[in-house]
Each structure stands twice: as C-alpha cells, then as structure tokens.
Amino acid sequence: MPKNPRWTAKDAEKELLSNGFEILRTKGSHKIYIKNNIRIVLPFHSGKILHPKIVKQVIKAIKK
C-alpha cells in the first residue's frame, strides 16, 4: 500500500483549487472548500504537516 504524501495546508489547498474546488468560507484557522456536494475542511496552522487522515480525505475528494 503506497504512503500518502506529506502535505502542508498550502499544498492541499493548491491541489483542491486546481481540481475545481472553491473556498466556501473561513472560520478561525480553518478554511472550508466545496465542489458539488463534497465539502472539505482544512486546518491552516503555519507550516505544519497535515494529519494523514486529512490528506486521505483530500485525495479521496479530488478523485471523485
């Protein structure tokens, strides 16, 4: 099983925006993206690596 990439929030945001997601809103340090009925919440914490579960959710949403 291949490992998920290690992404920061900026890396994940770049992937989401390039695949048609739009910023719905921002609340605190979290940004919410939407495309059709798929909603993704990304925590933005300065330069920290995202948790593997969040990376997996982003990759799954992009593939749909």
Q: What angle do CA 38, 22, 43 make, to 5 degrees?
A: 75
Structure tokens at 62: 């992009």
Residue 23 β-bridge partners: 33
Torsion of CA 59, 60, 61, 62, to 10 degrees: 50
DSSP structure class, residue 49? B
pLDDT for the residue numbered 2:
73
- pTM score of the predicted model: 0.87
- 3: pLDDT strictly greater than 90: no
Q: What is the pLDDT of residues 14-55, one digit of tens each?
A: 999 999 999 999 999 999 999 999 999 999 998 899 999 999
Position 1 scores a pLDDT of 60
